[in-house]
Amino acid sequence: MVSKQKKQRRKPDERIRRTHQRLGSALVQLMAEKPIDDITVQDVLDRASVGRSTFYLHFRDKNDLLLSQLEMFLETMSTLLTRRKENSHRVVPVTEMLQHIGGPKNKMYRALADSGRLHDFFDLAQGYFARGIEQRLRESNLPSNLLERELGARAFALAGSLLALLRWWLDRGAKESPREMDELFHRVVWDGLQRSVAP
């Protein structure tokens, strides 16, 4: 009886998740084909085979749908290492993130830039990554003389460095491998931390 009730409770959540996934996937596909400002809600509905009333039950408009997709991606990437309980020096899964963003089929970055929404994305991303980096720094073997009150500021600064590096990498044509960029970013992280706490 209890397991049947649990299953009944999970079904709506699963349906909602699938609906969000279908709508998000449809929007991303359309963004690879034409500018986001030329995409209508009806285009998304037709591509996703979802009804208008269902769409408006979950989202206000296509910008709300886009924001939900960006937030889902940022939440996944900023918490991935902690959720995996990865025992490493990494504070951000740079390799995995760049493999996703820099993939040949992923045109989200260019679509955001072309629509003038890239700055908004970077503002949003900095907050997510700052929280994720701060958590990873707390989980790591920090030098004992690193002040606790500095962690938030350092995490925010490192998140900004990560996004600047991402932009540099993409704007130059993603010439370095995601793994090389991961190693470069983490040298920046740990060299800076070690120098700042040296006696």
pLDDT on residue 123: 93
C-alpha dihedral (49, 22, 63, 126), degrees to nearest 10? -170
Structural domain spans, the chain: 1-59, 63-199
CA distance 152 to 179: 26
- Between 1-5, 107-111, 125-129, 139-143, the lowest mean confidence (pLDDT) is in 1-5
Lowest mean pLDDT, pick from 41-45, 82-86, 138-142, 155-159: 138-142
The sign of the torsion formed by the CA atoms of 49, 55, 59, 63 equals positive
pLDDT in tens, 116-129: 888 899 999 999 99
pLDDT tier for residue 147 given thresholds of 50, 70 and 90: low
Distances (CA, A) of 177 to 159, 163, 182: 20, 16, 9
Q: What is the pLDDT of residue 113?
A: 81
Residue 64: pLDDT band by 50, 70, 90 thresholds? very high
Q: What is the CATH number of domain 1-59?
A: 1.10.10
Phi/psi of residue 177, nearest 5 degrees: -75, 155
Average pLDDT value for residue range 11-22: 83
Angle at 193 between CA 171 and CA 158, to 5 degrees: 35
Q: Is the pLDDT of residue 10 over 50?
A: no
Mean pLDDT of 95-116: 79
Q: What is the mean pLDDT of residues 86-105?
A: 86
Model confidence at 110, pLDDT cuts 50, 70, 90, reads confident
Of residues 135, 130, 151, the one with CA closest to residue 193: 151
Please enumerate in sequence order all residues whose Cβ is within 8 A of that of 23, keeping only pairs 6 or more positions apart, or say none.
Answer: 44, 48, 50, 55, 58, 59, 65
128, 162 Cβ separation under 8 angstroms: no
Cα–Cα distance for residue pair 26/66, rounded to 1 Å: 11
Mean pLDDT on 154-180: 93
Structure letter (DSSP) for residue 183: H
Mean pLDDT of the chain: 86
What's the pTM value of the predicted model, to 2 decimals?
0.82
Mean pLDDT of 138-154: 75
Rounded Cα distance between 194 and 124, Å, is 28
CA 152 to chain centre: 19
Average pLDDT over residues 117-145: 87
Contacts of 185 (CB under 8 A, 6+ apart): 92, 94, 161, 162, 165
* Structure confidence at residue 44 (pLDDT): 96
